[in-house]
Amino acid sequence: MKTSKIKITNILGVKEIELNGSNYELTGKKGAGKTSIIEAIRYAFKNDSEKEWLVRTGETEGEILIETDTGLSIDRKKRTTQADYKSIKENGKSVSSPENFLQNIFTPLQLNPIEFTKMTRQEKNRTLLDLIVFEWDLNWIKEKFGEIPQGVNYSQNILQVLNDIQAESGEYYKTRQLINSELLHGTKTVKDIADTIPAGYQIDKWEQYQTAPKYDELSKIKVINGQIERAKLFKESYDNKIRGYQAELEIAISAEEKQINAERISLTNTIERLKAEIIAAEDKLKTLDGKLTDKKALVQAKYNEQVAILETDIQTANKYISKPLQDTTALQDGINTAEAMKLHLNEYKRMTAQQTRNEELKAQSGELTRKIELARELPSEILKVATLPVEGLTVKDGMPLVKGRPISNLSDGEALDLCIDITISKSSTLQMILINGAECLDTKSREELYAKCKAKGLQFIAARTTDDDELTVAEL
């Protein structure tokens, strides 16, 4: 579809002008009316304008009429005193949903390609990547990654989506960093715990080892051993005690004998001094042997009692004295070892739990790495089957390149030339382009641009600022 007639009346600075279906270059100084013509045509297709006042100063109505070689007619009237008028017909019949219809016959860059040169680097990249024809949807993403990755703008081109998925600022990369950090800490934790646990540690053995029965067994053995040791000590002291008792006996007898002898001497002396008391003394003397016997019997009885007690004790000791002492070293060592091993139970369990967690983290990190690598590999797979409509367009690391150079490295002229390629590549019904600001191109580049449009069958209206006072409309 191309325009066959464009008639503008009282729009902006244009009083009246009519163009046929040819290509035109509008020249003149600023304010000559070039932009007014371009803006009027945009208004016809978009029903919108950056200008607040479209009607020419002093008039109450402005009109733009466009007809195409396919029978489409667009008639808009902008009014200051009454409602605006529009008539959009195709082959004489009104078009249903006319604004939507018009939006579908052109692309935004067709009506303002110079805007492409003013876009940010990201916007240019996005526009260029959008040219790549590759059918995909969220189901395709889910099939590739097993999920819909979070933190990604899925309204972008698929290559930008994949670039965001694998980017260092993406959820996969950041999550993997957190996991790897936790894994590093977990690995160190396992090593630190392992360094405190004896080699060949048998958790099942030490977890089931019951120390209480062993302590009972050890206590009983210690009681028996104590009895044996006390019996031996008692046996060793028995003879000493017998000798002690015998000594006490002899000393006691000797003391009694000395006392009796002293008394005998005293009595004898008394007899000699006291002849009168001889008879009485002799009678008393006769009783001294009986008294001595009684004293001896009393001392002997005490001795016998002490020996009897010792005999009773020695009989008890004899029950143990022949028994060997039991060696508790192994039992005590076993208990000590068990106690020491049991101290490691909680740390061992924490270590094994951390090892399990580390394996989980490794698996998660590995899966994220796989997905990141997949997001990095998929673009090359996509580009093998995708359609690249602009000559020299390639993509590297998610960045579009034109003949090996980033878009930001193109001059304004090269960017405008690229914009024409983009416009041509876009499938639209309206085969027409408006170029406002062609003065940014040198003569050779401008002529090559016009030639390219003609060669592609693209109708164009270009506006170029010159030093001429009057507006010149040149048919090319």
Q: Which two tokens stand for residue 354?
A: 């951390």
**Average pLDDT estimate for 159-167:** 87
- From 137, 135, 134, 166, select the one nearest 149 (Cα to Cα): 166
pLDDT digits over 164-217, tens only? 898 889 999 999 999 999 999 999 999 998 899 998 888 888 888 888 888 888
103-112, 128-137, 388-397: which range is least confident on average? 388-397
For the 3-106+428-475 domain, the top CATH level (class) is: alpha beta
Q: What's the confidence (pLDDT) of residue 5? A: 94
- From 464, 445, 456, 398, select the one nearest 423 (Cα to Cα): 456
pLDDT-derived band at 295, boundaries 50, 70, 90:
confident
Phi, psi of 324 (to 5 degrees): -80, 150
Q: What's the confidence (pLDDT) of residue 452? A: 82
The DSSP-derived string for 94-129 is EPSSHHHHHHTS--HHHH-THHHHHS-HHHHHHHHH
- From 128, 140, 133, 131, select the one nearest 165 (Cα to Cα): 140
Q: Which two tokens stand for residue 430?
A: 């309206």
The DSSP-derived string for 26-61 is EEESTTSSHHHHHHHHHHHHHS--S-S--BPTT-SE
Residue 395, classed as helix, strand or coil, is strand
Query: What is the share, in percent, of the chain residues with pLDDT greater than 70?
Result: 92
pLDDT-derived band at 277, boundaries 50, 70, 90:
low
Query: What is the share, in percent, of the chain residues with pLDDT greater than 90?
Result: 24
Supply the pTM of this predicted model: 0.51
- Alpha-carbon distances of 409 from 128, 393, 400, 405, 415, rounded to whole Å: 14, 14, 12, 6, 9
* Cα(293)–Cα(311) distance, integer angstroms: 26
Provide the residue count of the chain: 476
Residue 33 predicted with pLDDT over 80: yes
pLDDT-derived band at 91, boundaries 50, 70, 90:
very high
Give the residue carrying structure tokens 């040149």.
Answer: 474
Q: Which two tokens stand for residue 181?
A: 């950090």
pLDDT digits over 208-263, tens only? 888 888 888 888 888 888 888 888 888 878 778 888 888 888 888 888 888 888 88
